[in-house]
Structure 1
Amino acid sequence: MDLGTRYLGLELGNPLVAAASPFSRTVDGVRRLADSGVGAVVLASLFEEQLRREAERDAALAEHSSQSYAESESYFPPGALADAGPRRHLSLIERAASSVDVPVIASINGATTGGWARHARSMQDAGAAAIELNVYFLPGDPGLTGRDVERRHLDILAAVVDSVTVPVAVKVGPQFSAFADVARALEDAGAGALVLFNRFQQPDIDPETLTVTAGATLSSRAEMRLPLTWIALLRRRAGLDLAATTGVEEAADVVRYLLAGADVVQTASALLRHGPEHATVLLDGLADWMRRKRYASVDAFRGLLAAPADPGDSTWVRGGYVRALGWADPAGFAAPTPDVR
């Protein structure tokens, strides 16, 4: 049985990818994920804010050095290296890539254009097999148009693509008026894959303390419907790879995404709930399903239930919608009698 798949030009042993999570912040965590059988590991993200802070610190150090004697130019003021996050991150990439036999994909998270995007080249040089660009941006400014938001995504992607030779995946949210058009534009701009979808922080309000609370929440299976729909719609209509993320809890969820057309399925929440070893459970379940259904390879059923290639064919979407509302439902809901008066 062949679980092998191809993603971003990389040959993977299977389609299960460990998404960015606290487990991939350390080399030991990456090893645990790899030992559990995942096909690739996405490292925890390096944030634009960290890179900007490092640049500001370096500028301050340069100014301090210019006011010192020449022989003391290498002196760092106390606490200057307290936040060496970007440097540690590059070290993590280098050590992780040399410690495991699966591809290590670096992740960079940002929301604006700027020189920080060129840091992707340092990630590549450190050993990253690919870059996952996580564009985390909620356009709350009423002065921003939809095209402005799309252009920002494309400009950030262009800055990263111009900096590296390894493939680049883009992780985005679903809040676009015409997502298929955005997918095409990202493909034209050099994206090798789309990761669907980013889960934006949704704060809560405590009515007793009159405070806004924020905290990361793990995804649930109910959230997989949206990325499942768009992967199925784009499978035969886009030329880039598709990575599913969100809502994976059991092997059947991995199968669902693959039937819709995903090239790989990322998971983080399930591994955080059950431990990295849960990846083995998911893969064993996938292999068992393939044996029962007599599929010799993942490619044999990937995209089997995707939407038709013709974008003008609305049957896949409209038909499902109508059936869901009970019209022409084979379970016994009769369609309303048309008014012929």
Structure 2
Amino acid sequence: MDLKTKYLGLELNNPLIVSACTLGHSVDNIRKLEDNGAAAVVLPSIFQEEIEGHIEDIESILAESGAEATTYLPPSIADSSGPQNYLDLIRKARAAVDIPVIASLNGTSLTGWTDYAAQLEEAGANAIELNVYFLPTDLSLTGQQVEQRYVEILKAVKKAVKIPVSMKLSPYFSSLGHMVRQLDAAGADGFVLFNRFYQPDIDLEELTLQRDLNLSHRGEIRLPLLWLGALHGHVKGSLAASSGVQTAKEVVKYLFVGADAVMTASALIRHGVGYMKTLLDGLKLELEQREIESVSRIRGKMSRHAVADPTAFDRANYIKILQGAPRG
């Protein structure tokens, strides 16, 4: 059975990628994920604010203690200032595994995006995933200004590095398809659909905002399923599915609508790194039961332009669903 696929121009043994999560902080985990069948791993995001906040803390210590304090800084602090820990993680992961290691970058300024992207490339990352976690809570921003920010970030990073660059996007654009095609034209090597924004809740007892990590569930597959099916065949860049992968069935569904790769984190956090083998074995079994010898045979077979009734992706289907709802 041929499970090989190509993502961001990288040859992968199968479509299963570990998406950015805490499991990627450990080289040990990354080795185990490879042993259990992961075809690539996206490291946890490096955040510009976190790096620069750490540097500011050190500079504050030095300002208060005098320049001679540099000789007394604990090595653990001095060595981890800036992005050094993350760059070391890339180097160690690349040395430890044969699968591609993809860095994930979240910047706040164009300089931050490009400077850190160049360092990630130099450290040996096979590709960079731009995690543009930007919530336009400034009510004066127009939709066009928000979209232009994404395009500018991509162009700046593409100019700064030679390795492939993907965009991890949220679904919250007024015209997602147009946004993706803009980024595709600007040189994006691929797209990850979708980023899950962590939104606050309210603790009514303490009257404080809460921020919890909510793992995805299989019901979340539907929105990326729709858009992957609509975009397949209409962009040059690779398409990766993210969110809702709990079993091999979700993996197969994503492949049917046109995903080149399928990412998961929540399932691995829930069940452990060994669950990657369960997903891979499940994918093989699903294909065997359908007498399919290659993932390329099913990719895009149920995308919007391939199905007999494309209205299943559109508003007409919404009307049918409502009309078929119980009335009692």
Taking every aligned residue pair, what percent have the same amino acid on both sides?
44
**Is the CA contact (8 Å cut-off) linking 2:62 and 2:70 kept in structure 1?**
no
Structure 2 gaps, min length 5: none
Q: What are the residue-to-residue correspondences of 1:14-163 with 2, within 5 Å?
A: 14-53=14-53, 56=56, 75=71, 77=73, 81=78, 83-84=80-81, 86-163=83-160
Offset at residue 45 of structure 1 (A): 1.0
Indicate yes or no: 2:191 matched with 1:194: yes
What is the total number of aligned residue pairs between the two structures? Answer: 324
**Is the CA contact (8 Å cut-off) linking 2:103 and 2:128 kept in structure 1?**
yes
Distance 1:2 1:159, change over 3 A: same
Q: CA RMSD in A?
A: 2.8
Q: What are the residue-to-residue correspondences of 1:303-318 with 2, within 5 Å?
A: 303-308=300-305, 316-318=313-315
Distance 1:174 1:112 in 2: 22
Distance 2:317 2:292 in 1: 26
Judge which range, 51-60 or 135-144, deviates more.
51-60
Distance 2:58 2:156 in 1: 22
**Is the CA contact (8 Å cut-off) linking 2:113 and 2:153 kept in structure 1?**
no
Offset at residue 81 of structure 1 (A): 2.3
Indicate yes or no: 2:261 matched with 1:281: no
**Is the CA contact (8 Å cut-off) linking 1:111 and 1:136 kept in structure 2?**
no
Provide TM-score, normalisation by structure 1: 0.87
Distance 1:199 1:182 in 2: 18
SS at 1:14's partner residue?
Answer: coil
**Is the CA contact (8 Å cut-off) linking 1:237 and 1:309 kept in structure 2?**
no
Indicate yes or no: 2:240 matched with 1:243: yes
SS at 2:84's partner residue?
Answer: helix
Post-superposition CA distance 1:221-240 (Å, at most 9, x none) = 11111111111110022221
Amino acid at match of 2:51: L
Distance 2:276 2:207 in 1: 41
Post-superposition CA distance 1:173-218 (Å, at most 9, x none) = 1110011111011111211001011111111112222121111111
Structure 1 gaps, min length 5: 334-341
Offset at residue 315 of structure 1 (A): 6.3
Distance 1:261 1:97 in 2: 29
Distance 1:60 1:204 in 2: 34
Aligned to 2:255: 258
Distance 1:11 1:82, change over 3 A: closer
**Is the CA contact (8 Å cut-off) linking 2:200 and 2:209 kept in structure 1?**
yes
**Is the CA contact (8 Å cut-off) linking 1:118 and 1:159 kept in structure 2?**
no
Judge which range, 152-161 or 86-95, deviates more.
152-161
SS at 2:209's partner residue?
Answer: strand
Aligned to 1:224: 221
Distance 1:87 1:317, change over 3 A: same
Post-superposition CA distance 1:264-321 (Å, at most 9, x none) = 00000000000011111111111111111111100000111101179xx756413422
**Is the CA contact (8 Å cut-off) linking 1:15 and 1:265 kept in structure 2?**
yes
Provide TM-score, normalisation by structure 2: 0.90
Distance 2:206 2:48 in 1: 32
Offset at residue 57 of structure 1 (A): 6.4
SS at 2:160's partner residue?
Answer: coil
Offset at residue 137 of structure 1 (A): 0.7
